[in-house]
Structure 1
């Protein structure tokens, strides 16, 4: 096992080290349109922090229960950490798996990596060895930054397994007790001179987000310096954010939503302060909102509903909230109304994807719009098509699958040729997998309503879970002959995961199944909430598992 940063022991560099290998660039003609429109300004993503430090040096940038950093302090830390990373053997363009909980240290690590030109792969705290191993393999990552343990899970044990299985992953940094690895504080406390950083190509990936995993293991989403900077700036402008706002990161910070929609990055573009919490419970969150007078946050539907309910009993209420973004899965009108009436009159719906395209309702939109639709496109250059099952555009106002492209939507997943062949139309539109209608007249004209989905996914508590990926794990159990993962409605999670299972002989319990999935490194949020034994799985006329019939059977049970 390699535990440190001996540059002389580097794995021989090869074409996999080339960041551009397997990256699908935006076509030159559209890229020029976005530059001419002023969306793409040719600056690196970390320039957001550099500019904030110049404009508001003494203003508080990020806060958590243990630390607070001004913009100037955070910018200096990015210089120091970026220099340390280069001194320790990293190269601009290297990929590093970043998996830290919500904290100022997440922001410090993120900007340190960006400053060095190292590309962070934005892992979530719930990801386990199955996902991280996949990310390491696809990205060619050479490093991993983790906490020691959180939520009862020891990330160092997972790291040891990853290092054994992925020879290129030679550098592990641990925030806390490092065990066999290197302390993250060795990097943060670096006292050497500041490096002369190279300027990255703004058209190449600044970071790699993680897809919701609609088919198989999650895919890597390359977000370029140009497109992600525009994403953050435009979101903050659309929500009317100013330096007087305070943003609360209540969802995992590595998500696109709290990272740049407007999130941490968008807040920085206007000089707003960002508060981190790793406890989104109403009691803890409401206390933080009151203490810091938080004005903006983003929540998944299930959490927003819980917060709205908690306003009936919590002694401290989130009265300072000006805007509450709610998204992650389709929200019914009565749910939207309940959240708006009980949590914040400034509740706004957001429908988007880490792949790019964002739609949201705006400040000042009529209540009828806010409660019933999921928003309109963020950018004037967002392009949307609604197509039928044959790929032909439907009549205006009719339902179909949403296809999108634009100045902040990817042109291809990273190093995923097969997925790209399925996920993009010949003219470069991304197939969202969402069934929608776009209104053509009245107060909803131009707004999108999500009516369902085409891809086989489960939206559990704001996380998108691939049914097919979970089924692959389920079918590998020696006691299971056949399995299907289906979504059941849940008051708090929105949807919960039910495993409909045909056993070969004696059944196993849900706890035993969870233990098996833990051993396979399956993420916590993808494990079934319920287990439904069945004699056989019903099939359609063409031999596919009939999930509609499974749901009908379960509803009668």
Structure 2
């Protein structure tokens, strides 16, 4: 067994086959550099150029590197070493960027959680990864993340530290802002010596629609760096780019599509926004002369609506708006260029790897009607029918993929990997697509039981498992119902135990007490005597969705 295979085996990772890895190196996809090394390449930008803006905080490349070194040294002082894991749950803030880069520099592996996650999700991540630390904000939207983290730390043997971002850090916890104070280059010499191997895991991403046991995706320095660099090249990012991050910074799209990291390794400037609200985003675009941003379709609609009634802000600097995370209608896509004076770019991808983009030079037909084509010549696509056989060109089928930045397995998940990956290392995306003759994909739907609520993926299976344990619930089915703003909302069909009263408010309260993320909590309850089933005895969710559509049709007459 090779050194790389030994390391991957120890970490619970599935390695690429040696011959594939050698090919990716030979073709220049894998450069053998840690992610942090790209940030320290002084040729990308002037040291004094502003690279990060968050409210009143303005940071130059020199400042960023000094803060990253300071954070890496202090994390090392806490006992964190290469391959140790830390669960990171932070809102949009400059501290996230510094901490993430410090972890890359040190070889510590951040596990990317979302601010919306609660006790159940964070505890499961910490347990599976044997995390040494939890990094959280103090309070966000009246939720006390610090209290939650302390509770999780008390019940998770591996967790030694709770690190907190904010102005109210409890005694016994560690102040993240103090961790991120700058140090001199002389104090950081040791960091160069212990730089992580590029074949090692750089971070763990959480799969969309993760069930109770989290599906974690290990991304190596080599594969993630290639994806970011190539996406940045396609998007024409350079020192004149000003990227506005409005959606959660731990989302792969915002962070690396090419996003925050792609902008920083290209010498541009990142502007952190606390929300995608158009009132605030438009002011930031005007003030910072933003050239590029990333949105989900629901945000695009809100921006278009606001722009139609309020044209006070100068948005003339905007050159590119990326849209992904959910289906984007051509009718809405074609409204973006005239409303904002920029190019619209569709994106399709997944934390598991494959990333597709339309190109800025593409025709409007491609830009409005497709989700783009793979960013790498060696991204392999296979569209198959229900029996696993390739479909004819242009026909709909399930997409399988593999390539230089699509990992070959989830972390510590042998049974899941046997289901999610086909022989030969093909990842079963669960998405129904059409592959056009010009190489662009059209995403038609999905086979996986996942509800896409405004770009946030909700596992119906996870939700059903939790609700079935509630008093008075005999059976439950969770489905996505169409919504013009979010794409889908979470609806549940419940068969109650005879004599028991079931209410939506009661279920929502119970799920909040369990510690389930708010975006997963159902927004509609339908009580039924029984759930429809297929010929194989499985719940017929197509029938449930069809029933909802019929009911809506009657209601609108």
Q: Tell me the TM-score normalized by structure 1.
A: 0.93
1:476 aligns with 2:476: no
Secondary structure of the residue aligned to 2:80 is: coil
Q: Which residue of 1 aligns with 2:180?
A: 188
Once the 2 structures are TM-superposed, how far is the Cα of residue 53 of structure 1 from its aligned partner?
7.5
Once the 2 structures are TM-superposed, how far is the Cα of residue 213 of structure 1 from its aligned partner?
2.2
Once the 2 structures are TM-superposed, how far is the Cα of residue 554 of structure 1 from its aligned partner?
2.2
Alignment partners' CA distance in 1, 2:455 and 2:375: 21
1:548 aligns with 2:542: yes
Alignment partners' CA distance in 1, 2:436 and 2:449: 25
- Backbone CA RMSD of aligned residues: 1.8
Alignment partners' CA distance in 2, 1:62 and 1:423: 38
Change (3 A) 1:501 1:367: same
Once the 2 structures are TM-superposed, how far is the Cα of residue 40 of structure 1 from its aligned partner?
0.6
Q: Which residue of 2 aligns with 1:437?
A: 434
Greater shift, 512-521 or 371-380, is seen at: 512-521
Q: Which residue of 1 aligns with 2:480?
A: 487
Query: Where do residues 432-471 of structure 1 align in structure 2 (5 Å cutoff)?
Result: 432-440=429-437, 445-471=438-464
Aligned equivalent of 1:302, options 298, 310, 330: 298
Change (3 A) 1:433 1:216: farther
Greater shift, 215-224 or 492-501, is seen at: 215-224
Q: Do 1:48 and 1:265's aligned partners in 2 also have CA atoms closer than 8 Å?
A: no
1:408 aligns with 2:400: no
Q: Do 1:17 and 1:140's aligned partners in 2 also have CA atoms closer than 8 Å?
A: no
Q: Do 1:102 and 1:252's aligned partners in 2 also have CA atoms closer than 8 Å?
A: yes
Query: Where do residues 236-315 of structure 1 align in structure 2 (5 Å cutoff)?
Result: 236-314=232-310, 315=312
Secondary structure of the residue aligned to 1:297 is: strand
Q: Tell me the TM-score normalized by structure 2.
A: 0.93
Q: Which residue of 2 aligns with 1:521?
A: 515
Q: Do 1:305 and 1:339's aligned partners in 2 also have CA atoms closer than 8 Å?
A: no
1:37 aligns with 2:30: no
Which digits, 9 at most, give the CA deviation of each residue in 1:12-45, with x for residues without a partner?
xxxx999842111111111111111111110001
Q: Which residue of 1 aligns with 2:3?
A: none
Q: Which runs of 4+ in 1 moved over 4 A?
A: 16-19, 214-217
Q: Which residue of 2 aligns with 1:13?
A: none
Change (3 A) 1:464 1:160: same
Unaligned residue ranges in structure 1 (runs of 5+): 1-15
Alignment partners' CA distance in 1, 2:57 and 2:480: 40
Q: Do 1:360 and 1:377's aligned partners in 2 also have CA atoms closer than 8 Å?
A: yes
1:103 aligns with 2:97: no
Alignment partners' CA distance in 1, 2:176 and 2:330: 46
Query: Where do residues 199-238 of structure 1 align in structure 2 (5 Å cutoff)?
Result: 199-213=195-209, 215-238=211-234
Q: Which residue of 2 aligns with 1:178?
A: 169
Q: Which residue of 2 aligns with 1:22?
A: 12
Once the 2 structures are TM-superposed, how far is the Cα of residue 368 of structure 1 from its aligned partner?
1.0
Q: Do 1:216 and 1:466's aligned partners in 2 also have CA atoms closer than 8 Å?
A: no
Which digits, 9 at most, give the CA deviation of each residue in 1:292-317, with x for residues without a partner?
11111111111111111211112325
Aligned equivalent of 1:536, options 530, 540, 549: 530
Alignment partners' CA distance in 2, 1:216 and 1:422: 17
Once the 2 structures are TM-superposed, how far is the Cα of residue 52 of structure 1 from its aligned partner?
4.8
Q: Which residue of 2 aligns with 1:428?
A: 425
Alignment partners' CA distance in 2, 1:33 and 1:351: 25
Aligned residue pair count: 538
Aligned equivalent of 1:48, options 10, 15, 38: 38
Q: Which residue of 2 aligns with 1:370?
A: 367
Once the 2 structures are TM-superposed, how far is the Cα of residue 151 of structure 1 from its aligned partner?
1.2
Which digits, 9 at most, give the CA deviation of each residue in 1:279-298, with x for residues without a partner?
21010111111111111111
Which digits, 9 at most, give the CA deviation of each residue in 1:329-380, with x for residues without a partner?
1222223223344345411110111111011110111111111111011011
Change (3 A) 1:432 1:54: closer
Q: Do 1:53 and 1:71's aligned partners in 2 also have CA atoms closer than 8 Å?
A: no
Alignment partners' CA distance in 1, 2:17 and 2:114: 31
Aligned equivalent of 1:118, options 108, 117, 126: 108
